[in-house]
């Protein structure tokens, strides 16, 4: 498990998921328990010392298909995306306060991002 980070108002923890054989972003408020597995027959040891919060996403992106995300935002949409997405996705802001997102994301992030954009209603055009 790695240190936690904040995505919008949700505390998340990037970690290697052995059942999916890939890195995942876990919501800390949804974790019921974390198990340290000691049975050698169950897991192969992995050397993940080089993986940290600053680079873990680059390892995921090497294994998953990337999807281009293009979103046009109203002024309110920009303000809400600043709160919800923070600095995770580069937000481009025009002088009039409207903006857009043009970002490549892993396919597994689509359900999470879809909830955000559906919540924006007419403030976002995806």
3-state helix, strand and coil shares in percent for the chain, rounded to the nearest 5: 30, 30, 40
- Does the structure show a pLDDT above 80 at 69? yes
- 37 or 89: which leads in pLDDT: 89
Residues 24 and 56 in one domain: yes
**Structural domain for 87, as ranges:** 66-125
> Average of pLDDT values for 83-107?
87
Residue ending a domain, among 62, 79, 95, is 62
Q: What is the pTM of this model?
A: 0.57
Residues 46 and 33 in one domain: yes
Residues 58 and 92 in one domain: no
Give the number of domains in the chain: 2
Residues 35 and 52 in one domain: yes
* DSSP string across 61-79: HHHS-EEEEEEEE-HHHHH
Residues 39 and 71 in one domain: no
């Amino acid at each position: 498990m790695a240190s936690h980070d904040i995505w919008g108002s949700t505390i998340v923890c990037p970690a290697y998921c052995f059942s999916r054989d890939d890195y995942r972003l876990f919501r800390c408020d949804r974790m019921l328990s974390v198990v340290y597995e000691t049975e050698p027959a169950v897991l192969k040891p992995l050397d993940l010392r080089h993986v940290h919060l600053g680079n873990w996403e680059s390892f995921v992106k090497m294994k998953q298909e990337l999807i281009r995300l293009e979103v046009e935002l109203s002024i309110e949409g920009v303000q809400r995306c600043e709160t919800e997405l923070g600095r995770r996705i580069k937000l481009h802001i025009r002088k009039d306060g409207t903006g857009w997102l043009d970002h490549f994301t892993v396919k597994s992030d689509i359900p999470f991002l879809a909830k955000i954009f559906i919540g924006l209603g007419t403030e976002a055009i995806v």
